[in-house]
């Protein structure tokens, strides 16, 4: 009935998107929730009928969806990253893949007692990892150095390699079990595999190059309007995938991956809008795929999950993967800790689930009994590897010194002159600092001034992969556009805690006359106080203001009765000298001044602040010669200047 089909589609979309939201909300691996809700909706609760999900249409949809997902993954790969890690990535996708295949097949045969042909086939399926599980895990861990780049490249490129290898093994098994071709023998099967592999590569290269050139030409010549750019791109990707598969079975996965890499690295047209569109589409596709594939399982599949499966899972995690990594990295310059971390980064994903489900359907006439446990075993490996790696990768990286458990570095969004002045001063105090801006001139000046700076669009999803976030634990949004600043705060909430995202107040030139235009729940925490905005800071510096390091004056610091001073208690002093508090330095830590009602300055703390031009040398800020209306002396300032930032190489307007 059409109504029941419509209901099934609605359930799949709701469960797929809802599970990913719940995973984000509770900081869990999304794939685990997707598999769980799919299994509950299918064989447990019967919301989705497993019998209705057995048709060829499902596998066609799954195959096409994976092709689109791999295209999106290819868009995140930059060839420049291979200069340092290209050798190890190549080894992992060749030597490492063969080792994983061979040892995995041996484990399947001797531990799970599969026959040799099925062991070889399932071993090929379990080669793949996948960007849908590797990249979110890397964003969570934020490893430093080369290991993140290696893991990202391997996770994306190994998918088509493993899928093509599995397809060739499947075709060989079907060839050897075909009564009409039984006399062909092993030699014919080997020849079939060699020819098939050559055709896979030839067809994928040819179609991907032709499709990419066509797409670049169409976009560069502006032959389609902006609102059709994403649709035309999707059309070309789907067409290339289908043509490749028609010419050579399952070559479409390699074709779309190569298209993504080629499109991301060509210099002729911008692909930013395409990337954003594909990322949104990927969320829907991944959710739908995992729900559909896990809903196909029968309750009887649980019978195949026993102690032997757990032993096999342990073999893959503790023996197969480390051997593959260490052998592949024999002649690399990776440290021991980096090799160990890569040995703990091989979660299986949607490609393994999809290929296993498809092959089980095709092999049933050949191996009617043995193939029944194939899909449950692969799903158990997926759940097990995602759970184990997802829950332990971050603490392991910290143990190896590849991730900072408590990063206190600052990422400035914006590289304007006053921002660079503040960033340089903070960096001089020993704090890790990075800047990101879309203005190439400001980024170039920042680099000339010794700052780590990136040129990128902060609202691009790829920006999270392009910048090195290691050691950076707080986000400071220092741009004048309040709407873009708020969107940036939401965008970076994926990698920063909400308490560590700070944003300047809306300026007087906003459409609401200086009032916060965006709702409070869509903004970051106040930066440098609730009323400090971009224009006030820029004006402060333009008029000769400097960045100074202050301490409490002796009378305040020696007051043992006062544990700390609030903003209200000190406001008269810093208001008189146009002082804008920026950071509080306490026992080696740097605290961002945020909500003024939470401002606490202890006697031993130091305050980094912007001072007006009146203070041009170290010493007290007090004005002992002035009096108030009662002719009584005004109390000297609570602050003393330790040093003032030397800005001879300062910001350029």
Residue with tokens 């391997």: 154
For residue 1, how many other CB atoms are within 10 A of its CB?
6
The whole-angstrom separation of Cα 145 and Cα 402 is 8
pLDDT at 381 over 60: yes
Residue with tokens 């061979």: 102
- Least confident window among 107-116, 312-321, 445-454, 639-648: 639-648
Q: What is the CATH number of the domain that holds 140?
A: 1.20.1530.20
For residue 13, how many other CB atoms are within 10 A of its CB?
14
Output the pLDDT for position 549. Answer: 79
The whole-angstrom separation of Cα 264 and Cα 272 is 9
- Residue 51 within a domain: no
- Residue 42 within a domain: no
- Residue 105 within a domain: yes
Output the pLDDT for position 242. Answer: 94
Phi, psi at 45, each rounded to 5°: -100, -20
- Least confident window among 175-184, 423-432, 463-472: 175-184
Q: What does the buried/exposed string (b/e) look like for 401-414 if buried means 16 or more CB atoms within 10 Å of the residue's CB? A: ebbbeebbbbbbbb
Tokens of 598: 């939470």
Asked if 125 contacts 359 with a C-beta cutoff of 8 angstroms, the reply is yes
> Where among 506, 535, 564 does a domain terminate?
535
The whole-angstrom separation of Cα 351 and Cα 250 is 12
Looking at the structure, tell me whether residues 517 and 552 fall in a common domain.
no
Looking at the structure, tell me whether residues 60 and 162 fall in a common domain.
yes
Region 568-582 average pLDDT: 64
Task: Give the model's confidence band at 608: pLDDT under 50 very low, under 70 low, under 90 confident, else very high.
Answer: confident
Looking at the structure, tell me whether residues 434 and 577 fall in a common domain.
no
Looking at the structure, tell me whether residues 385 and 269 fall in a common domain.
yes
Task: Give the model's confidence band at 629: pLDDT under 50 very low, under 70 low, under 90 confident, else very high.
Answer: very low
Tokens of 11: 């359930």
- Least confident window among 50-54, 92-96, 155-159: 50-54
pLDDT at 409 over 60: yes
Per-residue model confidence as pLDDT tens digits over 318-370:
999 999 999 999 888 888 988 999 999 888 877 787 788 777 777 777 777 66
Task: Give the model's confidence band at 557: pLDDT under 50 very low, under 70 low, under 90 confident, else very high.
Answer: low
- Least confident window among 42-46, 86-90, 539-543: 539-543
Region 95-112 average pLDDT: 94
Output the pLDDT for position 610. Answer: 80
- Number of separate domains in the chain: 3
Looking at the structure, tell me whether residues 94 and 139 fall in a common domain.
yes
Output the pLDDT for position 642. Answer: 66
* Cα angle 604, 609, 614; round to 5: 115
Output the pLDDT for position 577. Answer: 53
Highest mean pLDDT among 122-136, 360-374, 431-445, 488-502: 431-445
Within 177-250, where are the H helices? 185-220, 226-247
pLDDT at 110 over 90: yes
pLDDT at 34 over 50: yes
Tokens of 113: 């007692």
- The model carries a pTM of 0.68
Of 335 and 55, the one with more pLDDT:
335
Of 563 and 99, the one with more pLDDT:
99
Looking at the structure, tell me whether residues 286 and 333 fall in a common domain.
yes
pLDDT at 625 over 50: no
Q: What is the CATH number of the domain that holds 515?
A: 3.40.50.720
Residue 614 domain boundaries: 539-644
- Residue 387 within a domain: yes
Looking at the structure, tell me whether residues 382 and 466 fall in a common domain.
no
Q: Work out the percent of the chain whose per-residue pLDDT is above 90.
A: 14
Rounded to the nearest 10°, the torsion over CA 245, 250, 251, 254 is 130
Cα 552 to Cα 448, 569, 605, 626, distances in angstroms: 34, 12, 8, 21
- Residue 311 within a domain: yes
Q: What is the CATH number of the domain that holds 640?
A: 3.30.70
The whole-angstrom separation of Cα 552 and Cα 638 is 6
- Residue 404 within a domain: no
Cα 238 to Cα 158, 205, 435, distances in angstroms: 21, 16, 38
Per-residue model confidence as pLDDT tens digits over 424-460:
888 888 888 889 988 888 888 889 888 888 888 887 7
The whole-angstrom separation of Cα 323 and Cα 12 is 39
Q: Among residues 309, 296, 319, 308, which one has the least CA distance to residue 384? A: 309
Output the pLDDT for position 328. Answer: 93
Looking at the structure, tell me whether residues 288 and 193 fall in a common domain.
yes
Q: What proportions of the chain, in percent to the nearest 5, are helix, strand and coil?
A: 60, 10, 30
- Least confident window among 12-21, 28-37, 93-102: 28-37
> Where among 399, 423, 444 does a domain terminate?
399
Tokens of 314: 């342990």
Reduced to 3 states, what is the DSSP secondary structure of residue 550?
A: strand
> Where among 535, 557, 572 does a domain terminate?
535
Q: Among residues 130, 599, 47, 197, which one has the least CA distance to residue 354? A: 130
Cα 281 to Cα 70, 230, 275, 276, 352, distances in angstroms: 12, 11, 10, 9, 20
Looking at the structure, tell me whether residues 231 and 121 fall in a common domain.
yes
Angle at which helix 534-542 crosses helix 417-428, to 10 degrees, equals 80
Region 561-577 average pLDDT: 61
- Residue 48 within a domain: no
Looking at the structure, tell me whether residues 388 and 496 fall in a common domain.
no
First and final CA of the chain: distance in angstroms? Answer: 68
Output the pLDDT for position 484. Answer: 84
Output the pLDDT for position 51. Answer: 66
Q: Among residues 212, 100, 92, which one has the least CA distance to residue 146? A: 92
pLDDT at 532 over 70: yes
Q: Among residues 456, 464, 504, which one has the least CA distance to residue 483? A: 504
DSSP per position, 164-184: HHHHHHHHHHHHHT-GGGGGG
| pLDDT, the chain, mean | 79
pLDDT at 104 over 90: yes
Asked if 498 contacts 474 with a C-beta cutoff of 8 angstroms, the reply is no
Output the pLDDT for position 319. Answer: 95
Phi, psi at 25, each rounded to 5°: -65, -40
Looking at the structure, tell me whether residues 505 and 596 fall in a common domain.
no
Output the pLDDT for position 2. Answer: 64
Within 508-617, where are the H helices? 534-542, 554-557, 567-576
- Residue 312 within a domain: yes
Of 184 and 81, the one with more pLDDT:
81
Of 576 and 238, the one with more pLDDT:
238
Asked if 549 contacts 608 with a C-beta cutoff of 8 angstroms, the reply is yes
Looking at the structure, tell me whether residues 153 and 232 fall in a common domain.
yes
- Least confident window among 153-167, 419-433, 455-469, 569-583: 569-583
- Least confident window among 4-8, 60-64, 189-193, 229-233: 189-193
Per-residue model confidence as pLDDT tens digits over 194-233:
787 788 889 999 999 999 999 999 988 889 888 888 889 9
Task: Give the model's confidence band at 559: pLDDT under 50 very low, under 70 low, under 90 confident, else very high.
Answer: low
Of 28 and 591, the one with more pLDDT:
591
Residue with tokens 């509080």: 584
């Amino acid at each position: 009935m059409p109504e029941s089909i419509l209901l099934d589609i609605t359930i799949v979309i709701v469960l797929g998107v809802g599970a990913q939201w719940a995973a984000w909300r509770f900081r869990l691996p999304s794939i685990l929730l997707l598999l769980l809700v799919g299994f509950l909706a299918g064989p447990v609760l019967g919301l989705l009928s497993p019998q209705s999900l057995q048709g060829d249409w499902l596998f066609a949809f799954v195959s096409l969806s994976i092709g689109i997902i791999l295209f999106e993954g290819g868009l995140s790969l930059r060839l420049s990253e291979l200069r340092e890690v290209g050798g190890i990535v190549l080894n992992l996708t060749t030597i490492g893949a063969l080792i994983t295949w061979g040892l995995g097949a041996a484990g399947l045969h001797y531990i799970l007692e599969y026959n040799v042909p099925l062991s070889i086939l399932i071993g090929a399926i379990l080669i793949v990892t996948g960007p849908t599980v590797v990249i979110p895990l890397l964003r969570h861990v934020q490893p430093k150095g080369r290991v993140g780049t290696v893991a990202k490249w391997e996770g994306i490129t190994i998918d088509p390699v493993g899928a093509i290898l599995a397809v060739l093994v499947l075709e060989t098994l079907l060839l050897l079990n075909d009564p009409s071709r039984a006399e062909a023998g092993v030699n014919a099967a080997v020849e079939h595999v060699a020819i098939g592999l050559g055709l896979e590569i030839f067809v994928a290269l040819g179609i991907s190059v032709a499709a990419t050139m066509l797409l670049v030409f169409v976009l560069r010549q502006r032959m389609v309007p902006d609102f059709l750019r994403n649709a035309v791109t999707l059309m070309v990707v789907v067409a290339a995938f289908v043509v490749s598969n028609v010419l050579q079975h399952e070559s479409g996965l390699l074709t779309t991956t190569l298209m993504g890499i080629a499109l991301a690295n060509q210099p002729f047209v911008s692909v930013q809008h395409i990337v954003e569109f594909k990322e949104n589409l990927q969320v829907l596709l991944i959710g739908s795929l995992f729900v559909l594939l896990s809903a196909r399982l029968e309750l009887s599949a649980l019978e195949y999950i026993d102690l032997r499966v757990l032993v096999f899972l342990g073999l893959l995690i503790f023996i197969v993967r480390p051997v593959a990594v260490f052998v592949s990295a024999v002649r690399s310059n990776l440290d021991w800790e980096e090799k160990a971390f890569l040995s703990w980064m091989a979660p299986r994903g949607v490609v393994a689930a999809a290929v296993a489900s498809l092959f089980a359907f095709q092999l049933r006439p050949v191996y009617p009994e043995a193939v029944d446990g194939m899909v449950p075993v692969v799903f158990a490996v997926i759940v097990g590897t995602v759970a184990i790696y997802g829950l332990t990768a971050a603490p392991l990286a910290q143990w190896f010194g590849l991730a900072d458990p408590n990063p206190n570095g600052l990422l400035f969004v914006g590289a304007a002159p006053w921002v660079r002045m503040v960033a340089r001063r903070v960096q001089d105090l020993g704090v890790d600092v990075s800047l990101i801006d879309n203005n190439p001139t400001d980024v170039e000046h920042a680099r000339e001034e010794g700052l780590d700076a990136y040129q990128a669009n902060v609202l691009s999803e790829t920006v999270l992969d392009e910048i090195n976030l290691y050691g950076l634990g707080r986000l400071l949004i220092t741009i004048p556009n309040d709407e873009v600043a708020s969107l940036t705060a939401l965008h970076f909430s994926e990698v920063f805690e909400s308490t560590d995202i700070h944003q300047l107040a809306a300026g007087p030139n906003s459409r609401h006359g200086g009032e916060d235009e965006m709702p409070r729940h869509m903004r970051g925490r106040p930066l440098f106080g609730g009323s400090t905005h971009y224009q006030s800071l820029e004006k402060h510096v333009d008029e000769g203001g400097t960045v100074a390091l202050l301490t409490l004056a002796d009378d305040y610091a020696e007051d043992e009765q006062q544990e700390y001073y609030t903003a209200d208690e000190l406001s008269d002093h810093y208001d008189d000298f146009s002082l804008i508090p920026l950071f509080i330095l306490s026992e080696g830590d740097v605290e961002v001044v945020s909500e003024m009602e939470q401002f606490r300055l202890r006697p031993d703390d130091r305050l980094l602040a912007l001072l007006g031009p009146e203070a041009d040398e170290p010493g007290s800020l007090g004005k002992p010669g002035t009096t108030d209306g009662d002719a009584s002396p005004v109390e000297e300032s609570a602050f003393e200047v330790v040093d003032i930032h030397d800005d001879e190489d300062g910001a350029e307007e």
